[in-house]
Amino acid sequence: MGEILLTVEKLKMVFRNRTASFTAVEDLSFSVSQGQTLGIVGESGSGKTMSSLSVMRLLPEKGEIAGGKIMFNGRDLLSAGEKQMQGLRGNEISMIFQDPIMSLDQIFTIGSQIVEAILTHQDITKTAAKEKALKLLKEVGIPNTERVYHSYPFELSGGMCQRVMIAIALCCEPKLLFADEPTTALDVTVQAQIMDLLKKCQEAYNMGIVLITHDLGVVADAADRIVVMYAGKSMENATKDEIFNKPLHPYTMGLMKSIPHLDKKQDRLYSIEGMVPDRKTMPKGCRFSTRCPYVQDLCQEKEPDEKEVVKEHLVRCHRAEEFLKGGKIIE
């Protein structure tokens, strides 16, 4: 891997109003290097998207960063002014948002939106920007680029809109790309094409990629390292091989067990019992304790710290060492 691009340390992100507040992301740490893909995985509401929006400094109203450190390419993003962040966003750090059709402005043509993104960050003529936009559309695998350039988003399929979003994200050759559920609502064939496209773009620009998804199948092929999030915290952080071959947190084990296998006859898919707890009424102790098949008294009394069980394999579980030594695993 190349040099470290992004370092997030003990990030805490909260939502506040006049009468109350609740924590959406807490004690989250990870890093991303040049040419590396980090997968952030978890159920809806686990804090995946809020983590990426915290780095981009694009939090929704009433959301704020309450603690931690975010360093990008040697710069402290939490102390950067809005003007500095505007210079970074779309230029050195880009993001592909969920729902590509809705992320594009429906009343402007595809070409005008790509050109606007280019002109915002580069001092070139409109003619040169159009030439670059057409080149980008071709690079992301869009046929009939001139026609698509003059089309509106509602005239294109979801897969085509996702390719346009990737073109916009790559227009300034960013160092780091956040891809938030880039394959959601796309059919399986198009999903594979989009992931292959992201991989080719990563190799071309030596980008770091943060891939945010609920689909373990997506990160199985794409990620080098995986962070498994649950209820706002990282439960496990390790290489892809360790996550898939030797998971050490019961939540990760449950997610792995939930993956359907074509070579195995299954009358019923495995599912993790229970629901993600309400962030406003988090259980005492481990936040996964209400759903964990291995829960003990200690788990319900004290929340575990994140610890390095083996080299660069971080787990937030009281029984992680036991699982490492061959303790009972979900079957």
Q: Which has the minimum average pLDDT: 1-5, 177-181, 257-261? A: 257-261
What letter would DSSP give residue 142? Answer: -
Q: What pLDDT sits at residue 331?
A: 47
The 10s digit of each residue's pLDDT in 276-300 is: 888 778 889 999 999 999 999 999 9
What letter would DSSP give residue 267? Answer: S
Contact 145, 131 (CB under 8 A): no
Q: What is the mean pLDDT of residues 59-88?
A: 93
Q: Read off the amino acid at residue 34.
A: Q
Residue found by looking up tokens 């190349």 in the block:
2
Residue environment code for 146-173, b if the CB has 16+ CB neighbours within 10 A, otherwise e: eebbebebeebebbbbbbbbbbbbbbbe
Q: What pLDDT sits at residue 188?
A: 82
Q: What pLDDT sits at residue 328?
A: 54
Q: 230 Cβ partners below 8 Å, 6+ apart?
A: 42, 43, 46, 251, 276, 287, 288
Specify the pTM: 0.91
Q: What pLDDT sits at residue 262?
A: 65
- 93's enclosing H/E stretch is strand 93-96
The 10s digit of each residue's pLDDT in 265-276 is: 666 777 888 888
Q: What pLDDT sits at residue 329?
A: 52
Q: What is the mean pLDDT of residues 26-55?
A: 94
Q: What is the mean pLDDT of residues 50-66?
A: 94
Mean pLDDT, the chain, whole residue set: 91
The 10s digit of each residue's pLDDT in 133-163 is: 999 999 999 999 999 999 999 999 988 999 9
Taking 60 as the threshold, does the pLDDT of residue 199 lie above it?
A: yes
Q: What is the mean pLDDT of residues 216-239?
A: 94
